[in-house]
Amino acid sequence: MSPPPKKRRVGLIVGITGGVVGVLVIVGIVLALIGTAAGGGFPEAKFRLTLPKTLVDGSFQLEQDLSDTKGQEIEEEANGAWDAKDTKAVVGQYSQGGDRTRGALVLSGFYGRFKNTDKARRNMLEGAAEADGVTLEAGPKDFPRSGEPTISCEVLTQEELGTTLTYPTCSWADGNTGAIIVVMDSDTLGQDASEIDLEHYAEVTRQVRSETVKPIG
């Protein structure tokens, strides 16, 4: 029995108004839908993904919880996947210091029971890089750490209203949670892709994961 076809979704839509960051929405993420076999082998569901009021030691404040709208698209992608069970999507938009003109962070993720997590992590970044109007400039690059899920990051650019936006995108996936985050701020938007410190944003992503992943119950 052959595996189901891999699904693709548009990854990112980034809007700017008057040269500043406007609304950021994650339209969809790509799960690892290349199952090798149906049946057992799924980890126990012990953790969930949440949207706290602030992230990164209070640097970003939650503006919109889009889990019931854009999150439904993610759940539709996972429906019937051999590598995903009991999937729930979480999508949130954060602004830097409560002011989106200073910067923004968008988290699009899921929790449940997952296999082939390395593939899921890579697929999320691949989906972001294949979005309409988006160009992959650097990466993806893996940042492993003993005892923790690997973080992978890349640099993307996008043309909006005659302006080139440059921003890092990072992802993780483990047996219970996975997410892709986009960070846009004054330090990155106008930078050359080669100047963006992906290791720094991998550490930011680790902190995001530590603040959003909570035990079930």
pLDDT at 82: 64
DSSP 194: G
- Spatial distance between the Cα atoms of 190 and 28, rounded to a whole number of angstroms: 26
For residues 117 and 98, the model is more confident at: 117
Can you name the residues that pair with 143 across neighbouring β-strands?
151
pLDDT at 78: 62
pLDDT at 77: 63
pLDDT tens digits along 185-200: 777 777 888 889 999 9
Confidence (pTM): 0.83
Task: Classify domain 12-32+47-215 by CATH architecture.
Answer: 3-Layer(aba) Sandwich (3.40)
pLDDT at 52 over 80: yes
pLDDT at 72 over 60: yes
pLDDT at 4 over 80: no
- Cα-Cα-Cα-Cα dihedral sign, residues 48, 54, 58, 61: positive
- 207's enclosing H/E stretch is helix 198-212
pLDDT tens digits along 149-208: 999 999 998 877 677 788 899 999 999 999 999 888 777 777 888 889 999 999 999 999
Domain-by-domain residue ranges, the chain? 12-32+47-215
